[in-house]
């Protein structure tokens, strides 16, 4: 990384793109220039993919790990990088905070430590992965875990470092070579990480970074005949485009997409911890979290008290969050609040903020009185905006909770654990939390149903995605 100018990172070194066009990376807080990245195209993508393919060849073309690294080598490499990132925590957190606009403490306490944890988790998981075999009277079957090959990792801007390591950890652990395409809005920590791998002795071409726009650099990776799998996290519309391109090429694809997640609050909940939990689910990271609880469903008896208290919580959260990622995104979020008002919603607090520093600020916003079928209650806004809807009983709560095209996550707040279990079984989401939100155990499956994606990440699900399970059957 040279000063204000980031380059692609290919085969262990900074490489300029073929074209001279550059993309400006702006600070969401005040619009100042942080750095620029290359606007890579198909030619640059092929240079990066060919570096990854050469690295796979060193491992015997997929029979062994990329760069000839065995399990112990990969595990040691992931641990060594995790240690050096941890030593440079402040530098990484500062870069992440600048690119995303999130407060430095959040990057210091959440984003970077979680990324380090991801690397360490998969370093250990690969060591503990058990080989599988199945015997019968007539044969012995041995299952071979082989790398998929060269894989593309395409990631969004809301948790840039954390989400990249969440894919990169299992991809490297399983012996693949990588071309990562970070969001053009938050390119810095990915570049630092690629350099970190090279510094830790990673073979050239194991971890390559291709910067650029999604529809150009990202699309070129998905189309490349030498990319064997695509792991994508981002919006549902982009996920659909990637699926359309990848399907006829018969590539492995994992899609982690958007959400419109319900927080379901029963009148028998423990009020103060519920309030704290649903406010965090609504406003953390300025609501720019795929898992955020943006539809609050509340039992009639608690409705008015909850609205009043959430408005108080919203005021406290306005000091704990940064701006939205760009002014364009702020305009989109503001348009949903305007639409809600037009559709008869009551804006209890929040809305667009004056931005003297020319940033993309937006205050935590609580909206009541909207039809559940309204667009503001149905579409992913990805900002600090919640709509609140009353329900009379459990049946209506379930009907509302599942009345969405999305199916990523949901939370249930109640002191009745029998009800919580019954309700959780019927929710159409990949993940359910009871009396908590976003509590993560890296061993469990992570991902969504319906329009929130296909495939699962986490633990063995990530490791299965980044491997080809082959079976060898020997007659006894
Ligand atoms: P996005 O879909 O606009 O972009 C994500 C990435 O895809 C970026 O790197 C972008 O450059 C790239 N891209 C865009 N078009 C492409 C194309 N045609 N081909 C290949 N790559 C392309 O999403 P975003 O705005 O960066 O992120 C916000 C979205 O991500 C929200 O919808 C959020 O819910 C979702 N998200 C989901 C999860 C999850 O785990 N389910 C986690 C975080 C964010």
Q: Phi/psi class of residue 84: alpha, beta or left (left: φ > 0; alpha: ψ in -120 to 50)? A: alpha
pLDDT band at 225 (very low <50, low <70, confident <90, very high): very high
For residue 158, the model assigns a pLDDT of: 98
User: What tokens were used for 474?
Assistant: 């020997």
Which of 165, 209, 238 maximizes ligand 1 atoms within 8 Å of its Cβ, making it the mutation to test the pocket?
238
For residue 1, pLDDT beyond 90: no
Q: Name the pairing type of β-strands 177-181 and 150-154.
A: parallel
pLDDT at 413 (0 to 100)? 99
Confidence of residue 4 (pLDDT cuts 50, 70, 90): confident
Q: How far apart are CA 254 and CA 235, in angstroms?
A: 13
Predicted confidence at residue 191, as pLDDT, reads: 98
Cα–Cα–Cα angle for 349, 350, 352, rounded to 5 degrees: 155
Residue 216, pLDDT score: 98
Whether pLDDT at 40 is above 50: yes
Q: What is the pLDDT averaged over residues 351-374?
A: 87
Residue 184 is predicted with a pLDDT of 98
The pLDDT of residue 254 is 98
- Catalytic residue (choose from 96, 256, 380, 457): 256
Q: Which of 214, 336, 383, 456 to mutate to test the pocket of ligand 1 (most atoms within 8 A of CB)?
A: 214
pLDDT at 59 over 90: no
Per DSSP (E only), the strands in 257-338 are 261-265, 293-299
pLDDT band for position 324 (cuts 50, 70, 90): very high
Q: Which residue's structure tokens are 């965090």? A: 280
Q: What is the pLDDT of residue 448?
A: 98
pLDDT, position 351? 84
What tokens appear for 40 in the block? Answer: 């890579």
Ligand 1 pocket, residue 158 CB under 6 Å: yes
Instruction: State the distance from the centre of ligand 1 to the C-alpha of 256, rounded, in angstroms.
Output: 9
| 295 vs 355: which has the higher pLDDT | 295
Ligand 1 binding pocket includes 234 (Cβ within 6 Å)? yes
> To which H or E segment does residue 395 belong?
helix 394-401
Q: What are phi and psi of 405, to 5 degrees?
A: -75, -20
pLDDT digits (tens, 9 = 90+) for 408-448: 999 999 999 999 999 999 999 999 999 999 999 999 999 99
457 lines ligand 1 (CB under 6 A): no
d(CA 435, CA 271): 11
Q: How far apart are CA 1 and CA 195, in angstroms?
A: 8
From the candidates 39, 269, 290, 368, give the one annotated as an active-site residue: 290
pTM value is: 0.97
User: CB of 216 closer than 6 A to ligand 1?
Assistant: no
Per-residue confidence at 61, pLDDT binned at 50, 70, 90? low
pLDDT digit string, tens, across residues 188-199: 999 999 999 999
Q: What's the mean pLDDT in 340-354? A: 91
Kindly report the backbone phi and psi dihedral angles of residue 31, in degrees, each rounded to the nearest multiple of 5, phi listed first. Answer: 75, 5
Does 218 sit in the ligand 1 pocket, CB within 6 Å? yes
Q: What is the pLDDT of residues 448-472, one digit of tens each?
A: 999 999 999 999 999 999 999 999 9
- How far away, in angstroms, is 28 Cα from ligand 1 center? 18
Cα of 182 from ligand 1 centre, angstroms: 10
Choose the residue to mutate in 23, 156, 237 for probing ligand 1, maximizing ligand atoms within 8 Å of C-beta: 156
By residue count, the chain amounts to 476
How large is the C-alpha radius of gyration of the chain? 23
Collapsing DSSP to helix, strand or coil, 146 comes out as strand
pLDDT of residue 2: 44
* pLDDT per position as a tens digit, 234-258: 999 999 999 999 999 999 999 999 9
Give residue-wise pLDDT tens across range 76-93. 999 999 999 999 999 999
Q: Measure the CA–CA gap between 77 and 197, rounded to whole angstroms.
A: 8
| Ligand 1: nearest atom to the Cα of 241 | 18
Cβ of 160 less than 6 Å from ligand 1: no
Q: Which atom of ligand 1 is nearest to the CA of 182?
A: 9
Please give the backbone phi and psi of residue 264, each rounded to the nearest 5 degrees, phi first. -100, 115
What SS3 state is found at 442? coil
pLDDT above 90 coverage of the chain, percent = 96
Match 């004056």 to its residue by tokens: 354
Ligand 1 atom with least separation from CA of 235 = 32
Strands of 316-425, DSSP E: 346-352, 362-368, 385-391, 406-407, 409-413
Extract the tokens encoding 465: 């995605």
How many CB atoms are closer than 10 A to CB 430?
20
Active site residue 269: no
User: For residue 15, what are its two tokens?
Assistant: 């490489």
CA-nearest of 398, 430, 431 to 414 is: 398
Minimum CA distance residue for ligand 1 atom 14: 214
Residue 337, pLDDT above cutoff 90: yes
Over residues 318-344, the mean pLDDT reads 96
**Domain pair 8-257+452-475 / 262-441, same fold:** no
Task: Say if ligand 1 is within 6 A of residue 326 CB.
Answer: no
What are the angstrom distances between the C-alpha of 313 and each of 140, 376, 410, 469?
Answer: 61, 21, 20, 49
The pLDDT tens digits of the residues spanning 20-34 come to: 999 999 999 999 999
> Helix or strand or coil: residue 67?
helix
CA 281 vs. chain centroid, Å, equals: 15
CA distance 423 to 277: 18
Please calculate the CA angle 438-306-259 and round it to the nearest 5 degrees: 35
Output the pLDDT for position 64: 77
Nearest CA among 329, 328, 263 for reference residue 296: 263
Q: What is the mean pLDDT of residues 379-387?
A: 98
Taking 60 as the threshold, does the pLDDT of residue 3 lie above it? no
pLDDT over 80 at 144, yes or no: yes
C-beta separation of 442 from 460 below 8 A: no
Residues 338, 317, 96, 203: is their CA dihedral positive or negative?
A: negative
For residue 42, is pLDDT > 90? yes
Q: What is the Å distance from ligand 1's center to 233 Cα?
A: 5
Ligand 1 centroid to Cα of residue 453, in Å, is: 12
Which protein residue has the closest C-alpha to ligand 1 atom 26? 156
> Annotated catalytic, 290?
yes
Structural domain spans, the chain = 8-257+452-475, 262-441
The CATH T-level fold of domain 8-257+452-475 is Aldehyde Dehydrogenase; Chain A, domain 1 (3.40.605)
State if residue 253 touches ligand 1 by the CB under 6 angstroms criterion. Answer: no
Q: What is the mean pLDDT of the chain?
A: 96
Distance CA 234, CA 152 (A): 14
Helix (H), strand (E) at residue 333: helix 327-342
Q: Which atom of ligand 1 is nearest to the CA of 238?
A: 2
Assess whether the C-beta atom of 224 lies below 6 angstroms from ligand 1.
no
- Domain 262-441 listed as CATH 3.40.50.11890: no
Q: Are 58 and 68 in contact (CB under 8 A)?
A: yes
**To the nearest 5 percent, what fractions of the chain are helix, strand and coil?**
45, 25, 35
Q: Residue 352's pLDDT band (boundaries 50, 70, 90)?
A: confident
């Amino acid at each position: 990384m040279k000063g204000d100018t980031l380059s692609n990172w290919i085969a262990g070194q900074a490489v300029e793109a073929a074209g001279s066009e550059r993309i400006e990376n702006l600070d969401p807080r005040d619009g100042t220039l942080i750095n620029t990245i290359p606007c890579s195209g198909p030619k640059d993508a092929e240079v990066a993919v060919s570096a990854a393919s050469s690295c796979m060849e060193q491992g015997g073309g997929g029979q062994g790990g990329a760069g000839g690294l065995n399990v112990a080598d990969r595990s040691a490499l992931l641990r060594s990088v995790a240690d050096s990132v941890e030593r440079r925590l402040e530098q990484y957190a500062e870069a992440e905070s600048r690119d995303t606009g999130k407060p430095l403490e959040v990057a210091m306490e959440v984003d970077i430590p979680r990324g380090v944890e991801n690397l360490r988790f998969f370093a250990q998981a690969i060591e503990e992965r058990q080989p599988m075999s199945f015997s019968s009277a007539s044969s012995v079957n041995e299952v071979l875990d082989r790398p998929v090959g060269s894989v593309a990792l395409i990631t969004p801007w809301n948790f840039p470092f954390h989400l990249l390591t969440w894919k990169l950890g299992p991809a490297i652990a399983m012996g693949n070579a990588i071309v990562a395409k970070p969001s053009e809005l938050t390119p810095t920590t990915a570049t630092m990480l690629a350099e970190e791998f090279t510094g830790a002795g990673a073979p050239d071409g194991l971890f390559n970074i291709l910067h650029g726009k999604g529809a150009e650099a990202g699309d070129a990776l998905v189309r490349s005949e030498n990319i064997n799998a695509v792991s994508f996290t981002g919006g549902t519309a982009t996920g659909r485009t990637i699926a359309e391109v990848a399907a006829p090429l018969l590539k492995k694809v994992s899609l982690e997409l958007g959400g419109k997640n319900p927080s379901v609050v029963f009148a028998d909940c423990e009020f103060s911890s519920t309030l704290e939990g649903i406010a965090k689910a609504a406003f953390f990271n300025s609501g720019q979290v795929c898992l955020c609880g943006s539809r609050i469903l509340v039992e009639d008896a608690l409705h008015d008290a909850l609205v009043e208290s959430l408005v108080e919580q919203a005021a406290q959260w306005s000091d704990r969050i940064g701006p939205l990622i760009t002014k364009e995104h702020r305009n989109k979020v503001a348009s949903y609040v305007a639409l809600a008002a037009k559709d008869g919603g009551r804006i209890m607090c929040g809305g667009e903020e004056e931005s003297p520093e020319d940033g993309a600020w937006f205050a935590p916003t609580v909206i009541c009185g909207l039809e559940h079928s309204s667009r503001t209650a149905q579409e992913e806004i990805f900002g600090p905006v919640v709509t609140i809807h009353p329900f009379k009983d459990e049946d209506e709560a379930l009907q509302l909770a599942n009345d969405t095209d999305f199916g990523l996550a949901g939370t249930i707040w109640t002191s009745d654990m029998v009800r919580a279990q019954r309700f959780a079984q019927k929710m159409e989401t990949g993940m359910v939390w009871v009396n908590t939100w976003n509590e993560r155990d890296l061993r469990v499956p992570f991902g969504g149903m319906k329009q929130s994606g296909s495939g699962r990440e986490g633990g063995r699900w990530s490791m299965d995605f980044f491997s080809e399970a082959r079976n060898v059957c020997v007659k006894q």
